[in-house]
Amino acid sequence: MARPLAGPQTLLRTLNGRAILESLARRGPLTRAELMTETGLSRTAVTQVLRMLEGSDAVAAAGVDRDTRGPAAGRVSLHPALGYAAAVHVEPSAAHVALVDATGAVRVETHGPFPPLGDRVDHIAGLIEACLEKVHGPLHVAVIGVPGIVTADGAIRDDQGPDGGAFRAALSARLGAPVRIENDVNLAALAELADGRGAELASFALLLLDDGLGGGIVIDGALHRGFSGVAGEITFLPQTPVPIGAPVLGDAVVRDLALAHGRDPEETVHQHLDAAAAGDEAALAMAAEMGRRLTIVAGSIALVLDPEAFILGGVAAHPVLVDAVARVAEEYAAQLPMRFLVSSFGPEAPLVGAVQESAAALRATVFSRLVPSVDRGASVDHGAAAVDRSVR
């Protein structure tokens, strides 16, 4: 016959409390009956845990369900004052900030260019603080996506050299909250893995072209950062006729290509590609060379990792460049077949990834504080399915 899992009461309370909090974060406001279905807990267990969570201001009433048959039932949701996480994408010349709640919803966002002589930490912190003024609740954690190599301890190595973790430490001290630093292309890959074109793939490589070319590598459903954070720094993969150590693609390369083909080097890559879409022969020649370089980068990765697909993101998702890549890939298909997909999120992919990761970090931080605080002196139904394990 079935018997409940033996163990301390606090373990059962923790499991039940986390099950309800996670369900509310995932599904939004729910009735008690819906929580029973979501968690497998008994009605008694749900009622007792909700009482404890309400007492600690973890959940709050969220209206009445009038859509289902029978008596109207009250809904509960995560308490709106639980606090927020900041998701930040640091672009070359600006920062995009979004405040996220525990459900993953963006509550406030803003975008601001870096001042010419201003401090990057002060600017980002100022944008976050301006967002916090528009909501009620504390900041618990921040996830910052930056260009450059990010090591496991949050140190950054970019064009200015290694920072030894100074940026992360300074921003955390200014915000009074933990800060996680992540490479921006890796965040874009995580966005594709969670809700984009990579969700159904076991492995893929994201090729994201912005001011430079970066890669996000997913192997067996997990992001691969590499031992020192260098995985995905594909812009320096050697290929003819690019000199060793020179970037394959990026703003500087596009300027050189424009000069070589008689176009204005001050135009953006988008302007060149739009001109190619309109039939400009010089712009079409530029797009063909960019497509060739992108495809050779993909081929180099394919020979080492053999991913299921390549996802083109950022400027690489421009239709003209997608077509150029497809033409070159077709030439190599007999020797090296490669599958190319277009990003689900376009240039917003790094911020989307930062939002997803910051919401997960917020839930981990807040829920771990809430569940122990409601464990003390409480009693939860041992017969609840969420904590019952049957043995024969």
pLDDT at 30: 81
Indicate if the pLDDT at residue 225 is higher than 70.
yes
Q: How far are the Cα atoms of 60, 209, 212, 257 from residue 254, in angstroms, in the given order? A: 54, 11, 10, 5
In this structure, the strands spanning 84-90 and 73-78 are unpaired
Q: How far are the Cα atoms of 96, 171, 185, 216, 326 from residue 165, in angstroms, in the given order? A: 21, 10, 19, 22, 41
Q: Which amino acid is at 84?
A: Y
Q: Indicate the range of 28-37, 129-138, 229-238 predicted with least confidence.
A: 28-37
The angle formed by the CA atoms of residues 97, 354 and 350, to the nearest 5 degrees, is 90
Contact 85, 358 (CB under 8 A): yes
pLDDT at 162: 85
pLDDT at 377: 41
Mean pLDDT of the chain: 86
- pLDDT-based confidence at 183, cuts 50/70/90? very high
Compute the average pLDDT of residues 224-252.
90
Task: Return the bridge partners of 183, or none.
Answer: 146
Per-residue exposure over 126-143, b if at least 16 CB sit within 10 Å of its own CB, e if not: bbbeebbeebeeebbbbb
- Tell which residue, 136, 117, 116, 115, has the closest CA to residue 126: 115
Which stretches of 56-109 are DSSP H helices? Answer: none
- pLDDT-based confidence at 9, cuts 50/70/90? low
Q: Across the chain, which distance is largest between two alpha carbons, in Å?
A: 82
Q: What percent of the chain has pLDDT over 70?
A: 89
Q: How far are the Cα atoms of 8, 239, 311, 370 from residue 235, in angstroms, in the given order? A: 54, 10, 16, 45
Q: Indicate the range of 95-104, 231-240, 332-341, 365-374 predicted with least confidence.
A: 365-374
pTM for this predicted structure: 0.83
pLDDT at 2: 39
- pLDDT-based confidence at 223, cuts 50/70/90? very high
Nearest-angstrom CA–CA distance, 351 and 184: 8
User: Whose structure tokens read 């995985």?
Assistant: 231
Question: What is the set of domains in the chain, with CATH numbers?
Answer: 9-78 (1.10.10.10), 84-184+353-367 (3.30.420.40), 197-343 (3.30.420.40)
Q: How far are the Cα atoms of 60, 68, 154, 163 from residue 63, in angstroms, in the given order? A: 10, 14, 42, 49
Tens-place pLDDT, residues 263-303? 999 999 999 999 999 999 999 999 999 999 999 999 999 99
Which stretches of the chain are DSSP H helices? Answer: 9-27, 32-39, 43-55, 120-132, 166-175, 184-195, 251-260, 269-277, 281-305, 319-332, 349-375
- pLDDT-based confidence at 36, cuts 50/70/90? confident
Q: Which residue has the higher pLDDT, 81 or 8?
A: 81
CB-count exposure of residue 349 (10 Å: 0-12, 13-18, 19+): buried
Nearest-angstrom CA–CA distance, 253 and 105: 38
- pLDDT-based confidence at 37, cuts 50/70/90? confident
pLDDT at 8: 52
Compute the average pLDDT of residues 323-345.
95
